[in-house]
Amino acid sequence: MVKRLLALLLLAAIGGIFTTLVLGYMPDAELNNTARYYADHTAADIGSANLVTAIVITYRGLDTLGEVTVLFLAAAILGLVLARGRRQVQARRELTPVGELLTTGSRVLVPLIMLLGVYVFVNGHLTPGGGFQGGAVIASGVLLLLLTDPLRQFAHTLIAAVESLAGVFYVAIGLMGLFLAGGFLDNRFLPIGTLGALFSAGAIPIIYTLIGLKVGAEFSVMLSDLSDTEAL
Amino acid sequence: MMIHLAMATGFLLILIGFYGALSNRNLLRMIVAFTIADSGVNLVIVAIGYMPGRTAPILDATVKAGDAAARVIDPVPQALVLTAIVIGVGVTALMLAYAYKLYEKKRSLDIAKFTELRG
């Protein structure tokens, strides 16, 4: 009881801080210097219509490489932690059938979901999409497949190959930027093209496609690892 | 006004998440609570990037490259939140895996049953 009271007191204090923050907040009328630089220079320097993509892939590209690495580490640790559970799963467990609606529905929807995922990451430099979003959409298709058949085994070697190759090519493109253009992950060793065209913004569509494949593969591995765990 | 509403919603989600994490003893419920707090933080950051009367940071026929600085909202918080969401998924997956391992050990998700580190 005392514990709950303490928790409520703590929450009230934090809530008080939040209230003053909200009440005292005035939105800026002008962009700050960093954002102004990005808004002014993206079109000429990067050629990407989506400013967020330009920041994520080029201006702060190194951070995104780190982010992809963190995601890879999370997937790897997940596989490591759950590895023992997976070996025991060989003794197949009995499952209730999932029903006609889900089976047929997933057959119709999964190809469309995959297509949407590819569309989202290929158009990452033009629309509010990108590799991470597209990869998550692809993984949601994998989740639908797992829902229809929780015991489904995916081609682990294929997924691992896609993931590693995407990572290797990502770093290779970063190095090409270092040697052929201005710096690591510089997208301008390919022609920038016209703003708003599909083949524009230099290497950004390629990088985002690689990220999309990598993130999709990593999320799929995570989902299938979690799904492979034994019912306790 | 809209911006304060979005920000207040985000802070409220953070508080709900904290309350859930503090008051629940079930590990799965705590993970859900952390995810809710996570969404709240993301909502607050996106709300900070919003500026009244401006549009999304995407250049097209209506937002020309020349006057972009006067027409678009701050793209930096959006890039930050994009990163935060992805890392949040990784953290949630790890928490779920550890919860599974803890359950495997004690056959219980009650946090009070795990007393090994209690002084």
Q: Where are the domains of chain A?
A: 49-88+98-228
Q: What is the pLDDT of residue A173?
A: 85
A95 pLDDT exceeds 80? Answer: no
Q: What is the pLDDT of residue B31?
A: 93
| Of the listed ranges A189-198, A201-210, B46-55, B97-106, the one predicted with least confidence | A189-198
Q: Which residues of A touch B60 (CB under 8 A)?
A: 49, 196
Residue A92 structure tokens:
């197949």
Which residue range is the domain that position B69 belongs to? Answer: 2-56+65-113
Task: State which residue of chain B sits closest to A12, comparing Cα positions.
Answer: B15
- Domain of B70: which CATH number? 1.10.287.3510
A212 pLDDT exceeds 80? Answer: yes
**Chain A contacts in chain B segment 41-60 (CB below 8 A):** 48, 50-52, 56-60
Q: What is the pLDDT of residue A92?
A: 58
Stated pTM of the model: 0.84
Residue B78 inside a domain? The answer is yes
The parts of chain B modelled with pLDDT lower than 50 are: none
Pick the closest to residue A147 from A224, A80, A232 (CA basis): A224
A85 pLDDT exceeds 60? Answer: no
A232 pLDDT exceeds 70? Answer: no
At A16, is the pLDDT very low, low, confident or very high (cuts 50, 70, 90)?
A: very high
Candidates A52, A77, A219; nearest CB to B75:
A52
CB pair distance less than 8 Å for B97 and A71: no
Residues A79 and A154 sit within 8 Å (Cβ to Cβ): no
Q: What is the pLDDT of residue A31?
A: 80
CB pair distance less than 8 Å for B4 and A82: no
When the pLDDT of each residue in chain A is averaged and rounded to a whole number, the result is 83
Candidates B11, B58, B96; nearest CB to A22:
B11
Residue B70 inside a domain? The answer is yes
**Each residue of A155-174: pLDDT tens digit?**
778 888 888 888 888 888 88
Report, as an integer, the average pLDDT of A128-156: 84
Residues A197 and A123 sit within 8 Å (Cβ to Cβ): no
Mutation target vs B (from A22, A57, A121; most B CBs, 10 A cutoff):
A22
Report yes or no: B5 at the A interface, CB cutoff 8 Å: no
Report, as an integer, the average pLDDT of A93-114: 84
Q: Which residues of A touch B105 (CB under 8 A)?
A: none
Task: State which residue of chain A sits closest to B108, comparing Cα positions.
Answer: A232
**Each residue of A20-76: pLDDT tens digit?**
888 888 887 788 888 888 888 877 777 788 888 888 888 888 888 888 889 888 888
Structurally, chain B folds into a number of domains equal to 1
Q: Which residues of A touch B68 (CB under 8 A)?
A: 39-40, 42-43, 51
CA distances from A105 to A129, A143, A151, A191, B21 (A): 25, 13, 18, 43, 37
Report, as an integer, the average pLDDT of A190-209: 79
**Residue B22 to chain A, least CA–CA distance (Å):** 6
Residue B118 inside a domain? The answer is no
Q: What is the pLDDT of residue B89?
A: 87
The residues near B80 (Cβ < 8 Å, ≥ 6 apart) are: B45
Q: How far apart are CA A103 and CA A2, in angstroms?
A: 51
CB pair distance less than 8 Å for A14 and B100: no
Higher pLDDT: B15 or A151? It is: B15
Residues A50 and A125 sit within 8 Å (Cβ to Cβ): yes
